Structure 1
């Protein structure tokens, strides 16, 4: 059995963070939280109006995610969280002193646009996607982030991430 850790699924909107996260958490028997659900109301309103978030907007959101991670780890539990983690500084904040496996669901702009355009009832609109790609700092090799192809079938992604998670001894 592996020591408690948090798997953080990273990527732009449409990369499959929520879909993969739910399936992964079910496979691993852990809790899942969608970072979208932890956004302050002001952030959701802003995005629903088509206004991109700033670093200042993201700070309280990242703090909420970190608090959830800390609570799970303090309780001796592993978990899975979906969070765009677009900048290295955000990823560093989420990793800070925690046992984590960061997984970047890499997706090109065209596929991301088609996936986001197909969503129904989500506050994040297709027009905001360009701002995410503008903000995105793809993980560098020294960050030790597992990068996977988000176009792969969900079951394949879950199997690959779960196998890496098991090796976190």
Structure 2
């Protein structure tokens, strides 16, 4: 590295054999990758409602789906994390560079649709939970949660910084 050249933060998956920079307590996390973290953090209200309904209806009959889908989820998250670490950009920016315009926009529209439906399910689940606690109207609670979420998102953007994401270079 030349003098004055900016340094990039070292990531936990930078090198499989260079383990000197990792804490011993987190050594297993580098081998598992970000897939386990994705599974653990995906417990949003819509997910919890879905898990509860599926568990109530099917019991343990669908547990084999977890075993089947976990390796592909880990692989997908690992590839996405490594692409971001190598290029310094996310998947969308890399898709814009390497794929045709129509394929890029098709992917962006699909991402936008999936995220919008996921957020709508989360707001509806929070409205249902608030109705159980406070005995009110589900659409009113859902609208209230949507307004609070949008206000927080616009406040975050107007301040010019992210509120919920720590600004450190370490992933673990």
> TM-score scaled by structure 2?
0.26
- Bigger strand fraction: 1
- Bigger helix fraction: 2
Larger radius of gyration: 2
